[in-house]
């Protein structure tokens, strides 16, 4: 620390590199898919040149995370075939992924007896499991649907650095809370959704979109993320929400799936984030997306 200086503005950039190689194969029948995968990850941060008074400090960079990961994934999907299966799926989907991650994180610098500088990392060999079950039941000739989804994930062993956290919230999970609001080494969430058709034959063109069908759904989520053995249902959070799904085609050829989502977190809580208390919940959150499909 330099006397009289509390903080300075320094440009920081991040360089994230990852590649993987895998093998996909089927067993039992075409609905059961397995994938064996190896991936290498390297995350680095770079600090730009900066000046304090008359002293200039040169730019530098450092790798802060390196990992070799072996993964085995199982994917099962069996939906009832109909023209609404993309926007209103009826059937079952199961995802299970196991990772063995050999990683190094958070470098520190050690000065040897001979004066040389050595970088030392915290090493973690982690076993991780992430599983998800989705089940949807068709109602009224499969035009309506009632579905539930359960997800559980864990980093086996004692708590580790929050860098390895799973997250229960955000658009892929409990939409009533920001993505980083509910994170930890263990996650358990459940979702219940009821979906109904609004228009099934719009058949209208708004260049360059051809509008096909519109569905509306209401849902509720229940779940939490925690570390170690700090598990209690009284800490679980709840949210409710509604979604509009519009299925269309761009230039009559490319599937175009549009959704608008509004969610409200029913439980309010406060967490410490970067030295400040941040309060989540008791507020509306809105999402919009345009993709090739609704399954993300």
Strands 55-57 and 60-79 come out as unpaired
Whole-prediction pTM? 0.85
| pLDDT tens column, 4-26 | 456 667 778 888 999 999 999 99
Those residues with Cβ within 8 angstroms of residue 294's Cβ, 6 or more apart along the chain or in another chain: 86, 87, 245, 257, 259
Q: How many domains is the chain partitioned into structurally?
A: 1
Comparing 8-17, 167-176, 223-232, the range with the smallest average pLDDT is 8-17
**Bigger pLDDT: 132 or 106?**
132
Q: What average pLDDT does the segment 42-62 reach? A: 77
pLDDT digits (tens, 9 = 90+) for 182-206: 999 999 999 999 999 999 989 899 8
> At CA 14, angle to CA 8 and CA 18, rounded to 5?
165
> Between 113 and 224, where is the model more confident?
224
Query: Quick check: 293 pLDDT over 90?
Result: no
- Find out whether 68 and 102 touch, Cβ atoms under 8 Å: yes
pLDDT at 253: 82
* 185 occurs within a structural domain: yes
Tell me the mean pLDDT in the region 124-153. 96
**Domain membership flag for residue 286:** yes
Across the chain, mean pLDDT equals 89
Q: Is residue 6 part of a domain?
A: no
Residue 151 lies in a domain: yes
Number of C-alpha atoms within 13 angstroms, CB side, residue 6? 0
- Domain extent, residue 210, equals 12-291
The answer for 156, left when phi > 0, alpha when psi is -120 to 50, beta otherwise, is beta
Residue 223 lies in a domain: yes
pLDDT for position 10 = 75
d(CA 219, CA 242): 6
**5 found inside a domain:** no
**Would 7 be classed as within a structural domain?**
no
Residue 68 lies in a domain: yes
Instruction: Give me the CATH number covering residue 130.
Output: 2.40.160.50
Question: Residue 295: its pLDDT value, please?
Answer: 76
């Amino acid at each position: 620390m330099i006397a009289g200086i509390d903080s300075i503005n320094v440009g920081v950039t991040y360089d994230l590199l990852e590649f993987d190689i895998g093998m996909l194969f089927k067993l039992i029948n075409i609905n059961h898919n397995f994938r064996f995968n190896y991936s290498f990850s390297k995350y680095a941060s770079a600090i730009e040149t900066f000046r304090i008074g008359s002293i200039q400090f040169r730019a530098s960079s450092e790798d802060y995370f390196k990992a070799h990961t072996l993964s085995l994934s199982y994917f099962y999907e069996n939906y009832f075939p109909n023209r609404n299966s993309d926007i209103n799926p009826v059937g079952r989907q199961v995802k299970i992924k196991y990772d063995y991650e050999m990683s190094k994180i958070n470098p520190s610098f050690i000065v040897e007896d001979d004066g040389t500088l050595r970088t030392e990392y915290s090493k973690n060999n982690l076993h991780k499991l992430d599983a998800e079950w989705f089940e949807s039941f068709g109602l009224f000739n499969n035009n309506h649907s009632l579905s539930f989804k359960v997800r559980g994930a864990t980093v086996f062993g004692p708590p580790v650095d929050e860098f390895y956290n799973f997250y229960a919230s955000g658009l892929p999970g409990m939409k009533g809370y920001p993505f980083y609001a509910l994170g930890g080494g263990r996650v358990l969430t459940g979702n219940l959704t009821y979906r109904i058709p609004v228009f099934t034959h719009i058949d209208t063109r708004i260049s360059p979109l051809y509008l096909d069908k519109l569905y509306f759904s209401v849902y509720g989520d229940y779940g939490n993320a925690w570390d170690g053995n700090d598990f209690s249902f009284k800490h679980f959070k709840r949210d409710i929400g509604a979604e509009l799904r519009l299925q269309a085609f761009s230039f009559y050829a490319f599937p175009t799936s549009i959704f608008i989502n509004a969610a409200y977190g029913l439980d309010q809580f406060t967490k410490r984030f970067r030295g400040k208390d941040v309060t989540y919940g008791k507020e509306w959150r809105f999402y919009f997306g345009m993709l090739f499909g609704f399954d993300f």
